[in-house]
Amino acid sequence: MRAKTQNPSYSLTENPMQPITEREQQTASRPAGALESGPLVIVGGCGHVGLPLGLAFARKGYQVELLDTSAERVALVNSGRMPFHEDDADELLGETLKAGRLRATTDNRAMENASAIIVTIGTPVDEYLDPSVGEFDRSIDQLLQQVRPGQLLILRSTVFPGVTDRLARQLEQQRRGDVDLAYCPERIVQGQSLIELERLPQLIGGATQRAADRAADLFRIICPKVIFLKPVEAELAKLFCNAWRYINFAISNQFWVIANQFEADFQHIYRALREDYPRMASVARPGFAAGPCLLKDTMQLGAFNHGSFVLGQAAMMINEGLPYLLVQNIKHAYPLNEMTVGLLGMAFKPNSDDPRSSLSYKLRKVLLLECRKVLCTDPFVPDPDLTSLNDVLERADLLIVGTPHDAYKGLKFRQPVIDITTTIGK
């Protein structure tokens, strides 16, 4: 049976490069050969994407080498300690190291015997919110010098549209068509990779038919289903995912601002419009939409759409402007310049230890201009400038929830609490 899709023109489970009779590419049992000629090497393997991915393959009994330029992370991983929090990862790291199935290294020679190489290095935007391609390009150029005939090279970092086809052309010009190239994006919620990798389908964008087949065989080891796209479609699909989520958060944040302008209680409205009304079930709670991916990927899409991704740009102004608007609202109700304000939660999302691009830090900057003193706390983020929760609760006149960690739920506060997500404050 062919999978049913909403798009009648083609099924997403089909490999568009294959004749229709061969397109039944749904879930398969463990494929032979995907990693039989050598280990899997993950470049950027000690990062938030690379490490859980490596653990997922090692858990299935395969040999994994984590290649990373950070000697500090490599040492941590080899000593059995996760450099960041990831659900279910601590024990698995110890087990796979002990079994000799996982190893981290800074030595590029690890790639020599690999049957497959997956690239998960960072792809940041620069200070003008344009993709900062220099370092990524240098790393990829270096990598292309090192890949060998017959190896499968998979890009998994989030890249701007067209990168995979450009690399395929580069390989072709260098007469290195014997390297199989594919783009296979990561669409996992950070912190829950080991759970979600086993549940969610994997998008596969092979530069050639053979590359698509090989990449699919590889990912079938850890994923329940693969979905074939052209490389540029897979690149866009990843960016669309994050831009859609970012815009979705922006709508709620904009509604929150509008409700405030009318002095209406947004939470009353939010609860009422969702109650027994499934069409509004997907409305996000207002709050800080931040982190290493959502803004960056929305901006990547904007930068490569001739600057005309107006919805994305509007979402950025709303989401990034929220800390300032929040403080302006609070100023009407409290004499901030006479107060010590405690900021709860500095990670970019609840229950995470990752402060990258967290809007709590932007909120802190705005508060520093307005308040007598600002004290910040987070149970997970390792930042020497933070204060203990007890100290903040003791000294602050007013609390603002930046990141609603579960650890704050159920606490009794003696001072007023402002929590626009109202998962904690009310």
Q: Does 174 bind ligand NAD (CB under 6 A)?
A: no
Sole binder of ligand NAD in the list 158, 202, 267, 298 (CB under 6 A):
158
Tell me which amino acid residue 16 is.
P
Neighbours of 7 (CB within 10 A): 7
Nearer to ligand NAD, 226 or 341 (CB): 226
Sole binder of ligand NAD in the list 13, 14, 23, 47 (CB under 6 A):
47
Q: Does 89 bind ligand NAD (CB under 6 A)?
A: no
Distance CA 374, CA 326 (A): 15
The minimum distance between CB 52 and ligand NAD, in angstroms, equals: 9
Q: Does 201 bind ligand NAD (CB under 6 A)?
A: no
Span near ligand NAD by CB under 6 A; candidates 46-54, 126-134, 329-337, 404-412: 46-54
The minimum distance between CB 173 and ligand NAD, in angstroms, equals: 22
Name which of 275, 235, 246, 256 is nearest 155 in CA terms.
Answer: 235
* Strand spans (E) along 212-370: 226-229, 340-344
SS (H, E, C) 224-259: CCEEEECHHHHHHHHHHHHHHHHHHHHHHHHHHHHH
CA angle 100, 77, 182 (to 5 degrees): 80
103 - beta bridge partners?
65
How many residues in the shown chain lie near ligand NAD by CB under 6 A? Answer: 23
Nearer to ligand NAD, 359 or 375 (CB): 359
Angle between helices 231-261 and 294-303 (to 10 degrees): 110
Distance CA 366, CA 322 (A): 11
The minimum distance between CB 42 and ligand NAD, in angstroms, equals: 9
Sole binder of ligand NAD in the list 131, 292, 350, 355 (CB under 6 A):
292
281 and 294 in contact (C-beta within 8 Å)? no
Q: Does 254 bind ligand NAD (CB under 6 A)?
A: no
Sole binder of ligand NAD in the list 34, 43, 330, 420 (CB under 6 A):
43
380 and 352 in contact (C-beta within 8 Å)? yes
Nearer to ligand NAD, 43 or 376 (CB): 43
Nearer to ligand NAD, 23 or 73 (CB): 73
Q: Does 81 bind ligand NAD (CB under 6 A)?
A: no
Distance CA 131, CA 124 (A): 6
Q: Does 205 bind ligand NAD (CB under 6 A)?
A: no
* Strand spans (E) along 68-145: 102-105, 116-119
Q: Which of residues 90-129 bind ligand NAD (CB under 6 A)?
A: 120-123
Compute the chain's Rg from CA coordinates: 23
At residue 241, the 3 state secondary structure works out as helix
How crowded is the C-beta side of 349, counted as CA atoms within 13 Å? 13
Nearer to ligand NAD, 42 or 420 (CB): 42
Distance CA 75, CA 103 (A): 10
> What is the rounded end-to-end Cα distance, in angstroms, of the chain?
50
Q: Does 186 bind ligand NAD (CB under 6 A)?
A: yes
Nearer to ligand NAD, 187 or 210 (CB): 187
The minimum distance between CB 268 and ligand NAD, in angstroms, equals: 33
Sole binder of ligand NAD in the list 40, 49, 227, 303 (CB under 6 A):
49
Q: Does 345 bind ligand NAD (CB under 6 A)?
A: no
Distance CA 398, CA 350 (A): 21
Q: Does 68 bind ligand NAD (CB under 6 A)?
A: yes
Return residues touching ligand NAD (CB under 6 A).
43-44, 46-50, 67-70, 73, 120-123, 139, 157-158, 186, 190, 292-293
